[in-house]
């Protein structure tokens, strides 16, 4: 049975440990992107271009809540509905709708200053993860590639050398592989997410953080940030 969480300070809950923790205990911090590092679900915003945002967003919400168990199929369904969207709209989404969530810059900077490597693992798309990687100076990324033909989305994704879709299991594998590459134990990793497909990597990490998360994720995480920005983790993990 999962231990009950207790409120460390308003809107910040902890479970299973006594703060503060030290950055010295960790060597990697892994982030989900959509609704964690950034304020939107990119697939939903792309769908707005073809008048299908409500339909796509309903599938996204069910997947993030864990009500759809086959994440890969749910993503294929959503991407199929994007067929025909002009790729220029992706840049418009990035420029006009996407923002970093509060505290994202500060938390990433603090982790890097403490010597941690950073990982971005997303069920979203490389168009956005590449830009967030460059913007924040992220060390490693894994996400999905949208197929494009004649300047428009085809409604399909491109298989990559590591597999077809970055789902929860791939997030877990990438976290473990990155730890191995860095010579770290998984317990030396921090994993931050908000949806059900983040639970596999959060379950491997030494510290799991739910950020304004779905109930199932919040109930299992060691830290739940329900109010304020990502930098509230700095109340718990210090130099």
Which residues are the active-site residues? 32, 34
Strand segments (E) across 137-177: 140-149, 152-158
Integer Cα distance of 30 and 23 in angstroms: 14
DSSP string, 20-71: PEEGGG-SEEEE-TBTTTBSS-HHHHHHGGGT-HHHHHHHHHHHHTT--S-H
Distances (CA, A) of 206 to 4, 91, 179, 202: 18, 36, 12, 8
Torsion of the alpha carbons at 124, 128, 132 and 135, rounded to the nearest 10: 180
DSSP state of 158: E
Burial of 198 (C-beta count, 10 Å sphere; 0-12/13-18/19+)? buried
């Amino acid at each position: 049975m999962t231990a009950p969480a207790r409120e460390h300070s308003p809107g910040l809950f902890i479970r299973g440990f006594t703060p503060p923790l030290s950055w010295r205990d960790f060597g990697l911090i892994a982030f989900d992107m959509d609704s964690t590092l950034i304020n939107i679900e990119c697939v939903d915003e792309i769908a707005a271009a073809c008048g299908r945002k409500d339909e796509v967003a309903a599938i996204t919400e069910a997947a993030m809540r864990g009500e759809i168990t086959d994440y890969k199929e749910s993503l294929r369904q959503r991407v199929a509905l994007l067929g025909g969207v002009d790729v220029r709209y992706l840049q418009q989404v990035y420029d006009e709708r996407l923002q970093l969530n509060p505290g994202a810059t500060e938390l990433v900077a603090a982790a890097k200053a403490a010597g941690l490597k950073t990982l971005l693992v997303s069920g979203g798309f490389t168009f956005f993860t590449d830009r967030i990687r460059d913007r924040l100076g992220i060390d490693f990324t894994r996400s999905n590639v949208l197929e494009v033909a004649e300047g428009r989305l085809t409604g399909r994704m491109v298989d990559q050398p590591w597999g077809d879709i970055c789902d929860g299991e791939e997030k877990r594998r990438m976290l473990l592989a990155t730890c191995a590459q860095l010579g770290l134990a998984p317990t030396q990793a921090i994993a931050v997410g908000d949806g059900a497909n983040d639970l596999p990597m959060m379950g491997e990490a030494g510290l799991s953080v739910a950020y304004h998360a779905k109930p199932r994720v919040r109930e299992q995480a060691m830290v739940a940030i329900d109010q304020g920005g990502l930098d509230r983790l700095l109340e718990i993990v210090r130099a």
